[in-house]
């Protein structure tokens, strides 16, 4: 994890021999150091050519359990483009073709500006494999009746593990990454970089505000009593991001996901120029709109019908399909071709 306090530093490439992860697993136990040189790739779960990301399933040599490695090409940092990172003597340019004034080349800049953001999940569960697999997506319009009849029982039955969230809130992990920490139990929250952000590149800024109050799962639980909490997150989050990253609130996209990726209330802060995952209308709900809706009607989110996307390998897909709210289709898991060893 990158230390967000050094957002202006030039990243030096890590040694290929010592790509180590030192963290806690979802049960609070210690996880051994991992080295990518020991990773054995077995299957490509997803390869997104638009976002330049790939998820590879495999294992670590001499270790049991499944591992996932997510690789993402980093965005260009404007300060590097203004310096000599891409245009230094170490840069290699190979020609594809040249025709009159037009030329097409492949560029190999120095390694310090050519890093790849890497996320490792180990040991990965079946839920992780499902989450990062290529699969068909459907849209469901969830009425309040469907929420109480199908969605809520599914959430309660699944018992989604939130220990990693509690580790952050209780000060056990990721404390060096925290950008803002309001310790009020009722209206407090922690603001820190999302796992999808390297904590450095301003062009892809992505932070997460995780509320301290437990028992709030999603938009469905919000009412007028939570307005002070929501406004505090909005105001303090904007102020801190302006101070630390020099981004005004007019350039921030602040929103909820529904359904969320984990059922402990959290809010996303992203740079408006960054096309972050899940910013489309079937997924994102602007914080300003949520506040306005609740001010008009205290129990708005207990009465509203909310759309959400659902993937074929998600367990909740089976719930809605079995009850006749999604037409049965043949599964399309995507590219799970084994990698040649």
Model pLDDT for residues 150-208, shown as the tens digit of each residue: 999 999 988 778 999 999 999 999 999 999 999 999 999 999 999 889 888 898 999 99
Q: What is the pLDDT, as a whole number, of residue 110?
A: 80
C-alpha distances out from residue 283 to 134, 308, 309, Å = 18, 6, 7
Is the model's pLDDT at 260 over the cut of 50?
yes
In the structure, what pLDDT confidence band is assigned to residue 85 with cuts at 50, 70 and 90? low
Is the model's pLDDT at 322 over the cut of 70?
yes
Q: Please give the residue that has the higher pLDDT: either 216 or 30.
A: 216
CA angle (256 as vertex; 192, 24 as ends), nearest 5: 40
Q: Please give the residue that has the higher pLDDT: either 184 or 339.
A: 184
Q: What is the pLDDT, as a whole number, of residue 12?
A: 36
C-alpha distances out from residue 214 to 33, 54, 258, Å = 31, 34, 18
Percent of the chain predicted with pLDDT > 70: 85
Cα-to-chain-centroid distance, residue 319:
25
For residue 86, how many other CB atoms are within 10 A of its CB?
15
The first and second tokens of residue 117, run together, are: 């953001």
Looking at every residue in the chain, the average pLDDT score rounds to 85
Is the model's pLDDT at 257 over the cut of 60?
yes
The radius of gyration of the chain's CA atoms, rounded to the nearest angstrom, is: 22
Is the model's pLDDT at 311 over the cut of 50?
yes
Which residues, listed in sequence order, are joined to residue 192 by a DSSP beta bridge?
208
The interaxial angle of helices 287-296 and 227-245, nearest 10 deg, is: 160
- In 3D space, the residue among 278, 234, 282 whose CA is nearest the CA of residue 254 turns out to be 234
Specify whether 266 is catalytic: yes
Q: What is the pLDDT, as a whole number, of residue 336?
A: 44
Q: What is the pLDDT, as a whole number, of residue 9?
A: 33
Is the model's pLDDT at 87 over the cut of 90?
no
In the structure, what pLDDT confidence band is assigned to residue 88 with cuts at 50, 70 and 90? confident
Q: Please give the residue that has the higher pLDDT: either 144 or 129.
A: 144
Is the model's pLDDT at 285 over the cut of 80?
yes
Separation between Cα atoms, residue 301 and residue 338, nearest integer Å = 44
In the chain the domains, ranked by start, together with CATH numbers, are 77-114 (no CATH), 135-322 (3.30.428.10)
Which of the following is catalytic: 266, 268, 274, 285? Answer: 266
In the structure, what pLDDT confidence band is assigned to residue 91 with cuts at 50, 70 and 90? confident
Rounded to an integer, the average pLDDT of 266-293 is 96
pTM above 0.85, yes or no: no
Is the model's pLDDT at 19 over the cut of 70?
no
């Amino acid at each position: 994890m990158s230390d967000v306090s050094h957002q202006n530093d030039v990243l030096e490439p890590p040694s290929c021999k010592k790509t180590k992860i030192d963290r806690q697993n979802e049960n609070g136990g210690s996880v051994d150091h991992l080295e990518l040189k020991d990773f054995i790739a077995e299957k490509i779960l997803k390869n997104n050519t638009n976002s330049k990301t790939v998820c590879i399933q495999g294992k670590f040599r001499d270790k049991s359990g499944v591992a996932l490695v997510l690789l993402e090409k980093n965005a260009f940092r404007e300060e590097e483009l203004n310096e000599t990172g891409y245009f230094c003597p170490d840069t290699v340019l190979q020609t594809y073709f040249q025709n009159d004034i037009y030329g097409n080349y492949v560029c190999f800049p120095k390694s310090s500006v050519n890093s790849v953001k890497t996320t490792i999940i180990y040991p990965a569960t079946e839920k992780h494999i499902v989450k990062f697999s290529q699969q068909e997506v459907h849209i469901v319009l969830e009425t309040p009746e469907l929420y109480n009849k199908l969605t809520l029982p599914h959430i309660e039955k699944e018992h989604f593990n939130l220990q990693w969230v509690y580790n952050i809130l209780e000060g056990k992990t990721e404390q060096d990454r925290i950008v803002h920490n309001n310790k009020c139990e009722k209206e407090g929250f922690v603001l820190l970089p999302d796992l999808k952000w390297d904590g450095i590149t301003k062009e892809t800024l992505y932070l997460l505000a995780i509320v301290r109050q437990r028992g709030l799962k999603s938009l469905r639980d919000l009412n007028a009593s939570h307005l002070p909490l929501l406004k505090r997150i909005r105001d303090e989050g904007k102020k801190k991001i302006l101070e630390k990253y020099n981004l005004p609130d007019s350039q921030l996209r602040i929103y909820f996901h529904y359904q969320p990726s984990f059922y402990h209330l959290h809010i996303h802060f992203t740079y408006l120029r960054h096309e972050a995952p899940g910013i489309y209308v079937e997924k994102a709900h602007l914080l300003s709109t949520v506040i306005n809706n609740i001010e008009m009607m205290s129990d708005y989110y207990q009465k509203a019908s909310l759309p959400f996307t659902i993937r074929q390998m998600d367990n909740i897909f089976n719930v809605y399909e079995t009850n006749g709210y999604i037409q049965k289709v043949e599964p399309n898991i995507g590219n799970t071709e084994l990698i040649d060893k």
